[in-house]
Structure formats: C-alpha cells, structure tokens
A = this chain, B = another copy of it.
C-alpha cells in the first residue's frame, strides 16, 4: 500500500465541501483538509488571472487516484481542475493503517 496526499483547488468552500463529502461517501479518501482561502494567480486565455479560491488536501491510497479523479471530474465546475498527488515518504504507521481501513472497501475492488 502506498499512501498519497492529493492537492486540489475549488472556486469556493461550498463546492470543496460537496466534493470532499462525495469522496468520503464513496470511500475514495480517508480525510480531507480544506484550506478555506487561497489567492490564486494563473495563466488563462493568455492573461494572468487573480482569483480567490479554496484548496484541499486529501489522504488516500495511490491505487484510488484514478477513481478519485473520475469522481471529482464528475462534480467539479472547472474545465481543467487541479488534481495532483504527492507520495507520502514516511508516516505514523497507525495513521497510514487508518487511511487503508477507511478506504478498504474501495482499494481492494
């Protein structure tokens, strides 16, 4: 099992909470930490945009990234949402086991 930290951004907290809850209900993540305000600057249609967004960090197993992504894409209002993941290099073992227990029904399908 290899756990990951998935980083995503959303237009506002309501959307982040709705999608976070859907991921939890489908056992695709063990937990989500929503950062309620980030200031985002990015290129879009050849102009630098500056918008207030919301970010989120979700903890899950790397085997669930594809179904997680499909679930987010089905609910996210953006055309190309940020859904990226970094590998957890070390971790408190009981917490890593808890991630696996909370996503077990999914990750072993």
- Whole-angstrom distance between the alpha carbons of A37 and B37 in the complex? 10
Which residues from chain B contact A91 at a C-beta distance below 8 Å?
Answer: 83-85
Copies in the complex: 3
In the assembled complex, the CB of A5 is this many whole angstroms from the nearest CB of chain B, namely 7
Known: A30-B42, A33-B55, A38-B36. A92 touches B84 (CB 8 A): yes
Secondary structure dominating the interface of A: strand
A88 and B88 within 8 A (CB): no
Interface size on A, residues (CB 8 A): 53
What residues make up the interface of A, taking CB atoms closer than 8 Å to B?
3-5, 7, 9, 13, 17, 20-21, 24-25, 30-43, 48, 50, 53, 55, 57, 59, 62, 65, 69, 73, 80-92, 94-96, 98, 102
